[in-house]
Amino acid sequence: MALLDMKDVRGGYGDADILHGVSMTVGEREIVVIVGPNGAGKSTAMKSVFGLLAIRGGHIVFDGEDITAWAPDRIVQRGICYVPQVDNVFREMTVHENFEMGAFLRRGDLSAAYDRVYGLFPDLKAKRKNLAGDLSGGQRQMVAMGRALMLDPKLLLLDEPTAGLSPKYMEQIFQITRDVRDAGVSILLVEQHAKQALAFCDRGYVLATGANRHEGTGQALLADREVAEMFLGG
Amino acid sequence: MSFLEFLNFHLVPGIVLGSVYAVGAIGITLVFGILRFAHFAHGDMATLGAFIALALVTAGLTPWAALPVAMAAVAVVAIVVDKLFYDYLKARPKIMTVMASLGVALMLRAVVQVVFGVDPRTYATGIVRPDDYFGILLRDRELYTLAAVVLIVVGLTLFLRHSRWGKAMRAMSDNPDLARLSGVDNRKVTMLTWAIVGALCAASGFMLGINNELQSMMGWQVLLPMFAAAILGGVGRVEGAVLGGLIVGVAEEMSIFILPAQYKAATAFVLLLLILLVRPRGLLNGKVL
């Protein structure tokens, strides 16, 4: 059974629906990417998992439990962490303090969790006392992911982690995403860079106007002519 | 004028006044940074604290023993005021909370005036001669004021830097959405902030009172210099508020070199205008709200 199972989810932020029936699954240790044109509801679909919008239809089942319309803080405790696209670090706090805030809900010994994030992001070890706001865009993205990993989630939601980053950092973030997956975390991410993202993910969903359009493995979607015309300039 | 005269008649009083402003400005900057509004009842909460301490002194406590009790009492008052008034408005535009705090200021002042009257009062009567410390003249109350301010600033800094809830307060000030995503309980941080702010109000009111006299308008009159200090230092920056407080206090005491003494109060206003024109984020790069 899939770790996350979304079925025919409808809803939006206000009264108008943005999602008109989105279904997707994320399996254990799987990287799933959501791509689609602007305004397709990619980020919205991901936020619906995290309880950030009003859901008016469908179900979201996580790890065998129906979490539809749960509040975000409850979802966090259940094992899903979310990394927003912008403003995703505490700029005036140090790298280490950012990780500490990520583990705010966790009591007891955190040394294993620190070892894990510093192991995943060795660059940050030397910068642990620097303010997160002073780091480069790529490193800030690592801090944001590290913060979310401190709670030891089963599923990590990443909202456009490579937005605004140089190609070099984009590769690095994708590599880190794979490392995180290899550490046993499933990942659902939204990507603007469709071609690169489909090439690196396990499976992908193409959304358009708030509904599923295509799905399949990354390679299959890349090979699909209609998908190619949609994004890759034919 | 000799250097010692300058020191004793201008600089030392300026530093004492400035450190009192600093304690008030820290509270203002915390409310600004964490709860994101300008708290106009700050001065009158300070007045209330000063008069609660007076009631305790009348009941037999020494002034400095009354201070911690008054701080605790105003901490409770601040939490209650938040629950009664500000909490209702938290989903509305912030300007409504600002206006509500103006109403709270009038209410608190009215309570002080009804209970204690409108005549000036003092904690202790009689003239205190200053002691001579290598040429620097300091009264005990001034020395204790400086020591208490240092204690408060160091204690608060350590709390914000190292404790779990202090970090939660900083996180809330830094990025409220992310703090909530991390599981920080907004209501607990709000309550804690008001407790600290209330205690700081009482301390600043008490120190104003013990270095001068108590009157029901005293808090309202220092609201402008305290806001000037908070903005000068950079909104949301505790160390900025201390720096700003000292600058405003010293500048007020120095202003008599160029301004008639009755215009002393305008100094803070001029400083506020200047910093907003030249460096609106404040000396230590605070928030823009």
What pLDDT sits at residue B104?
A: 97
Distance of CA A142 to the CA centre of its chain: 13
Residue of B nearest to A71 (CA): B181
Task: With a cut of 90, say whether residue B8 has pLDDT above it.
Answer: no
State the count of interchain CB pairs (< 8 A) between A and B: 54
User: How many angstroms separate the CA atoms of A27 and A5, rounded?
Assistant: 9
- pLDDT tens-place string over residues B151-162: 999 999 999 999
Which chain A residues are closer than 8 Å to B164 by Cβ? 104
- pLDDT tens-place string over residues B20-77: 999 999 999 999 999 999 999 999 999 999 999 999 999 999 999 999 999 999 999 9
Shortest distance between the Cα of A231 and any Cα of chain B, in A, equals 32
Percent of chain B with pLDDT over 90: 74
CB B242 within 8 A of CB B233: yes
Q: Hey, CA dihedral for B265, B208, B147, B150, is it positive or negative?
A: negative
What pLDDT sits at residue B54?
A: 95
Which chain A residues are closer than 8 Å to B179 by Cβ? 90, 101
What pLDDT sits at residue A65?
A: 92
What pLDDT sits at residue B35?
A: 94
Those residues whose C-beta lies under 8 Å from the C-beta of residue B228, and which sit 6 or more positions away, are B244, B248, B268, B269, B271, B272, B275
What pLDDT sits at residue B77?
A: 98
Q: Which helix (H) or strand (E) holds B19?
A: helix B12-30
- pLDDT tens-place string over residues B71-126: 999 999 999 999 999 999 988 999 999 999 999 999 999 999 999 999 999 998 77
Task: With a cut of 70, say whether residue B289 has pLDDT above it.
Answer: no
Residue whose tokens read 């450190």: B19
What pLDDT sits at residue A234?
A: 41
**Pairing mode, strands A186-190 and A19-26:** unpaired
Q: Does A101 touch chain B (CB under 8 A)?
A: yes
What pLDDT sits at residue B175?
A: 92
CB contact under 8 A, B178 and A97: no
What tokens appear for A218 in the block? 């990354």
Mean pLDDT by 10 residues, chain A (234 residues): 89 87 92 88 90 89 91 88 92 94 87 91 92 90 92 92 85 89 92 87 90 86 81 55
What pLDDT sits at residue A163?
A: 85
* Buried/exposed code over B257-270 (b: 16+ C-beta within 10 A; e: otherwise): eeeeeeebeebbee
Q: Among the listed ranges A206-220, B137-151, B181-195, which one has the minimum average pLDDT value?
A: A206-220
- Of A101, A134, A145, A150, which to mutate for an interface test with B (greatest number of B Cβ within 10 Å)? A101
Question: Could you tell me the pTM of the whole model?
Answer: 0.89
What pLDDT sits at residue B259?
A: 85
What pLDDT sits at residue A105?
A: 85
What pLDDT sits at residue A101?
A: 93
User: How many angstroms separate the CA atoms of B128 and B120, rounded?
Assistant: 18
CB contact under 8 A, A91 and B175: yes
Q: Hey, CA dihedral for A151, A157, A161, A167, is it positive or negative?
A: positive
User: How many angstroms separate the CA atoms of B78 and B81, rounded?
Assistant: 5
Task: With a cut of 90, say whether residue B140 has pLDDT above it.
Answer: no
Shortest distance between the Cα of A92 and any Cα of chain B, in A, equals 6
Q: Hey, CA dihedral for B87, B88, B91, B94, is it positive or negative?
A: negative
Which chain A residues are closer than 8 Å to B182 by Cβ? 76, 101-102, 104-105, 147
Q: Which helix (H) or strand (E) holds A23?
A: strand A19-26
CB contact under 8 A, A104 and B182: yes
CB A120 within 8 A of CB A187: no
What pLDDT sits at residue B246?
A: 96
User: How many angstroms separate the CA atoms of B228 and B241, rounded?
Assistant: 9
What pLDDT sits at residue A16?
A: 85
The CA distances from residue B145 to A59, A181, B13, B15, B260, in Å, are 62, 57, 11, 10, 28
- Let me know if B164 is exposed, middle or buried by CB neighbors in 10 A (0-12, 13-18, 19+): exposed
